[in-house]
Amino acid sequence: MLFGSDRLARWSPADWPIAQDWRPVVSRFLGSRDGARLGDFLQERLAQGAVVFPAQPLRALQMTPRAKVRVVIFGQDPYHATGQANGLAFSVPQGVRPPPSLHNILGEIARDPLLQSGAPQRPRGESPGGDLVAWAHQGVLLLNICLTVEQGQPASHAGRGWEVLTDAIVEDSLGTDGPVVFLLWGAHAQKKRAIVQSSGRPQTLVLCANHPSPLSARRGPTPFVGCGHFGQANVFLRAHGARPVAW
């Protein structure tokens, strides 16, 4: 496993490595009433023997510094099966078979007509498989809306406080320079749209579609399959002087 274990051992956010420029927003949250309530909840669940994923809930903030954010992709919450969650939304550890939503994401990249020619090359040595760390290194913030989950219980930590932090992360990312693309898939991710649009930030693109889950990926009114978001993101980044992503 990526961290020796894929489960959270204890509530110790001070020990979780994150990029320096994310520390102020995280520290404000941890010092707030919502942060304290979340910590109390997680400590209680762990003491009761709950298996909580992932081992490092804030890993996205380690892999993608605030100053480098070019694209933000939201997941709902981490994968809830053993061996899948690795702290990056939709990503799984190297060698793990992509779950259905990630399978649809990779399929959309493969068929995106705007990526068929002139696409940047993926950095040498970084795999195009289910481990999306190569995206994170290029400035793609892979952020779950809720950052922990219990084994076999999707959305089990929803409404416990993580959403307050991820709202604050969105607001903080809007203070960066340069273009940023927000890919909002599904109703939960699209709740962040109001925060983005209310900022009036220039050089910002918001693209919405259904969630890539097989349950919704082909449904209207905005199917994920055929959305072309990855190519559109790169077109926008190029148009505003930023490097496109090697998806």
**Residues 118, 247 contacting (CB under 8 angstroms):** no
**Residues 185, 90 contacting (CB under 8 angstroms):** no
**Residues 74, 101 contacting (CB under 8 angstroms):** no
Q: Active-site residue numbers?
A: 77
Q: Which among 20, 22, 61, 14 is positioned nearest to 39, based on CA atoms?
A: 14
Task: Name the β-bridge partners of 52.
Answer: 150
For residue 118, is it left (φ>0), alpha (ψ between -120 and 50) or beta?
left
Q: Which residues fall within 8 angstroms of residue 230, CB to CB, at 6 or more apart?
A: 108, 109, 112, 114, 115, 245, 247
